[in-house]
Structure 1
Amino acid sequence: MDARLATAPPHLAPLSSPMARGYALGLLGVVLFALTIPMTRLAGGTALAPELPPSFVALGRAAVAGLCSVAYLLAVRAAWPARADWPWLALTCLGVVFGFPLLLGLAVREVDAVHAAVVTGLLPMATAALAAAFLRQRASWGFWLSAWAGLGLVLGYAAWRGAGALSAADGLLFVAVLLGAAGYVGGGQLARRMPAQQVICWVLVLALPVTLPSAGLTWPERPASVAAWAGFAYVSLVSMWLGFFAWYRALALGGTLRISQVQVLQPFLSMLFAVPLLGEPLEAGSLAFAAAVVAVVWWGRRQAVQGGPTR
């Protein structure tokens, strides 16, 4: 790849360039992941009207996706990961298989999907910060200004909605964000060494000795609704598996630090999805904040970033 395309602002790159493809795949991943919070709440229910146990939702979805991953890796005859890949696989496994799903599932039993979407809006900033620290990706002041502006908008929205009054559920969500960001950084690093679709598959296979028996042990004791099982199917096959095919490839193509900022859109998409799926209200002010965040992300993608080479 031409070095000039690796560092040039993406609006100057051809539509067929790795950077442009990275943004397209990143946007696809964000749309798929935006349904995760509403679908997790649909699967687990609420504290007053519980459905599937949060531990089963978190571990069961990883078990289902892990079994799919075994079939996929055998079908493509994937090479065994190199020794240097195993620390990154372990980090990714901790973040996206165990940490984020389990803590999110517990939190959305206590708060609605809109509240959770606001707090997890910190994920792009956390991912960018960890990427800058661990992957040595450097960004211009303009890029960081746009990232902080996006964060400020998310926090401003939280204050407007009253989400600034932190609860135990908020604490769970903040830790989930940190673990999820670590998983994204680890997966983005692995996607530069192996096909992106194999990254999440190996991570899920690594977790199978824990997730498969745990899914059996946490199997729901009472029947759940069809809607709850539909939510579980989505988080198993899309949120935990297919969505990462697009997301990790996007991180490899465009760099973890830059592509992670597209995820600033995710909380607002989650809110929009929560309206028809869960019947949660959506105020006009939410749409205004969403428009402001879109503008910030669009400006941020025009700023120069160095690091994060493509495959």
Structure 2
Amino acid sequence: MWLAVAGVVCFSLTFPATDWSLRGFGPWTATALRMLTAGLIAAATLRVRRVPLPARRHWAGLAVAASGVVIGFPLLTTLALRTSTTSHAAVVVGLLPLTTAVYSSLRTGARPSPAFWGAALAGAAVVVAFALYQSGGAPGVGDLFLCGALLLCAAGYAEGGKLARELPAAHVIGWALVGCLPLAAAGSALALAYEPVALTGQAAVGLAWSALGSQFLGLLFWYRAMGLVGVSRTSQVQLAQPLLTLVWAVLLLGERLTPAAPAAALAVLVCIVVVQRTRA
């Protein structure tokens, strides 16, 4: 579970880092360069460790994982952050643990206990209510992008977590990233040709963290945790991610945090404890 916590800490910085990168890059450029950088890091890691190609039976799962966590979620959330605030975008990660658990249950035939679902639903409700409160409760243009990102990422988490029971987590995220390198290279070339770039230190740091911290290290920790304790249980640790993201938004982006934050944080932690103590 400590691996899951490390993954959530990495993920919690994704939206602030994306906000920074959008101050110097267009959304398509930021997403493509993020994929390209993370893919090159993964390729070098696999090369140094002399990791063989995955078996053919793993290719479909890797494709779904890559579509969700390497392509779909980064692109759609980046497009959403052009019109949505970081606090509003945190709604998507508030719903992600529940969506991942539902997808995993349908995909694998698992049947978590009623107490598990009750705690998961309660935690998701708290996070969504708090994030909507932070953003004023008004839906924005980016909501459709966020909903699409939520569904794709849930599938990517569940399929990647399933593969992590058979393959090392570094192999799962590594091959998912390497498989996207041709698309990332072509996308970077096209995006740089059509979108203006105003490179600043803040934009460079944001892009670097999105690639190294969120896209590589965070998923490495996350898939390893899912392989050890299961997709549904690991996903519930992510209930704390929106609150962490809001804290980073205050410290890094200057957004205001309402007094409701401590109460919401306590309620979410209680839900996480209940989820971890229930058994299927």
The answer on whether the counterparts of 2:84 and 2:141 sit within 8 Å (CA) in structure 1 is: no
The structure 1 segments of at least 4 consecutive aligned residues displaced by more than 6 Å after TM superposition are none
Task: Report what 1:193 is aligned to.
Answer: 166
User: Structure 1 CA distance, aligned partners of 2:186 and 2:38?
Assistant: 14
Residue 36 of structure 1 is matched in structure 2 by 14
TM-score by length of 2: 0.96
Is the Cα–Cα contact under 8 Å of residues 116 and 275 in structure 2 kept in the other structure? yes
* Contact persistence 2:94–2:239 (CA under 8 A): yes
- Give the deviation of 1:120 after TM superposition: 2.6
Q: What TM-score do the two structures reach when normalised by structure 1? A: 0.86
Asked if 1 retains the 8 angstrom alpha-carbon contact of 2:31 and 2:74, the reply is yes
State the secondary structure of the residue aligned to 1:139. coil
Q: Does the Cα contact within 8 Å between 1:119 and 1:158 map onto a contact in 2?
A: no
Deviations 1:171-210 (A, max 9, x none): 1111111111111011101111111011111001111111
Q: Is the 8 A contact 1:119 1:170 kept in 2?
A: no
**Is residue 113 from structure 1 mapped to residue 91 from structure 2 by the alignment?**
no
Alignment partner, residue 262 of structure 1: 237
Shift of 1:163: 5.0
Q: Does 1:296 align with 2:271?
A: yes
Equivalent positions of 1:82-93 (< 5 A) are 82-93=55-66
Compute the displacement of 1:158 (Å). 4.0
Cα deviation for residue 278 of structure 1 reads 0.5
Report the Cα offset of residue 284 of structure 1: 1.1
Q: Which residue of 1 aligns with 2:227?
A: 252
For residue 221 of structure 1, report the CA deviation from its aligned partner.
2.8
The one-letter amino acid paired with 1:31 is: V
* Greater C-alpha Rg: 1
CA distance in 1, matches of 2:252, 2:190: 29
Partner of 2:42: 69
- The question of whether the paired residues in 2 share the 8 Å contact of 1:100 and 1:180 is answered with yes
Decide whether the 8 Å contact of 2:87 with 2:134 is kept in 1.
no
- Please provide the CA RMSD for this pair: 1.3
SS of equivalent residue, structure 2 residue 142:
helix
Of 25, 28, 40, the match for 2:3: 25
Aligned residue in 2 for 1:272: 247
Shift in alpha-carbon separation, 1:249–1:222, aligned structure 2, 3 A: closer
Identity value in percent: 41
For 1:232, the equivalent position in structure 2 comes to 207
Consecutive unaligned residues of structure 1, counting only runs of 5 or more, are 1-22, 46-50, 306-311
Cα separation, partners in 2 of 1:222 and 1:61, compared to 1, 3 Å: closer
One-letter code of the match for 1:24? W
| Contact persistence 1:191–1:199 (CA under 8 A) | yes
Counterpart in 2 of 1:179? 152
| 1:123 alignment counterpart | 96
CA distance in 2, matches of 1:200, 1:267: 23
Task: State the 1:111 CA deviation.
Answer: 1.3
Instruction: Count how many residue pairs are aligned between Structure 1 and Structure 2.
Output: 278
Q: What is the correspondence of 1:203-214 to structure 2 with a 5 Å cutoff?
A: 203-214=176-187
